[in-house]
Each structure stands twice: as C-alpha cells, then as structure tokens.
Amino acid sequence: MKMSDFTGLAARVSGKGADAWEVHRIAQERKEAGADILILSIGEDVAARTPDHVVEACIESLNQGRHHYSYMIGQPNLRKAIVDHHQALTDQALSVDNCVVFAGAQNALYAVSSCLLEAGDEVIVVEPYYSTYPATFTANGAKMVTIVARGEKGFQPELSEIKAAITPRTKALVINSPA
C-alpha cells in the first residue's frame, strides 16, 4: 500500500472547519475580559440548568463505581429507557438494536453523515446552524446546501425553499432547533 492511497482518508480529518472554533475561542476570550456576549456556538451559555435528579443520578452512579469506559453504543439500560420513552410518545415499535447513544450531537452527526454521505452528495441544512456543521458534513466530500430560517418567521424553515433545494444528489435534510 502506498502513502497516496490514504490521501482521501486523511482529507477527512484535515482540520477543515477549525476556523469556526477560532471564532468561539475569540468570543470566549472577550466574554472572560468582561464583554457582554451570549455565546451560542456550543450551547454552554444557556439559562437551563441540569435537573437535580439528573445530577443526583450521576453522583450515585459515580459512587457505585460506574466511572469507567462505557459501551460504544450506549449503556443497555439507557438505550432501553430511550426506546420505551419513544414508544410511549409515538406508539411506534422500536428495537433497542435501533438505538445508539452518542457523547454529543456532533459525534452523532459525523457518524451518521459518514454512513450516508459520500463525494458529490448533498445535505440540506437549515441555518442558523452549529458552527461545525460545514466540516462535519463535508468531511466525506458532500456539499452542504443551506436554507435560511428567518427570525421574523420564528426561525421556521419555509417548506417551499426546502423543496426548491432538493436535487437528485440530496441525501439528507438537517433541521436543528437552537433550543
């Protein structure tokens, strides 16, 4: 095997999209220096606090010695609870085998896009969107097509704009709520 055989694979992790993190870093520095900035890039500046019962469950889990590596697809009991909750809400049967837990949305989106997208495919993304989406969706050679969700319309995407953006190369549509 020649080194050139890895060129395409190496391009996937080349650091494209790092500029988005630079913007976040600068905003964080300015905030720490006293600027009145609400940082929305990674969801840490939200007013919502982790519910007490979740914090207590985490502490209990740590006290019971559960602080080692987890299953790659998530703890079986957590996956079962998610499936049960989904079925109660939707009345749709779902197998635990169809439920995977990720450490964060970016990890999940990268894994899913690695399975679904390849060079030349398109993914429609509603903006505003998370700052690393371009790198996440283009890492496998896909093209990101954006639809702007306007504030005066409650940041809801226009169905007509989504339909107009769909082409034979469209493989995915990502709609993300800033909440």
Break the chain into its structural domains and give their ranges: 118-179
Q: Binning pLDDT at 50, 70 and 90, where does residue 179 land?
A: very low
Q: Nearest 5 degrees, angle CA 29-CA 30-CA 35?
A: 145
- Residues 127, 146: contact at Cβ < 8 Å? yes
Task: Return the pLDDT at 94.
Answer: 92
Task: Return the pLDDT at 140.
Answer: 86
Strands laid side by side in the 122-127 sheet: 143-148, 122-127, 170-174
Taking residue 121's Cβ as centre, other Cβ atoms within 10 Å add up to 17
Q: Is the pLDDT of residue 52 over 90?
A: yes
The pLDDT tens digits of the residues spanning 107-128 come to 899 999 999 999 999 999 998 8
Region 130-157: mean pLDDT is 88
Q: Is the pLDDT of residue 161 over 90?
A: yes
Region 70-85: mean pLDDT is 94
pTM across the whole model: 0.70
Structure tokens belonging to residue 170: 């469209």
Contacts of 136 (CB under 8 A, 6+ apart): 17, 106, 109, 110, 113
Mean pLDDT of the residues in the chain: 85
Task: Return the pLDDT at 5.
Answer: 60
177 or 59, greater pLDDT: 59
Q: What number of H helices and E strands is found in the chain?
A: 7, 3
Tally the C-alpha atoms within 13 A of residue 142's C-alpha that lie toward its C-beta: 29
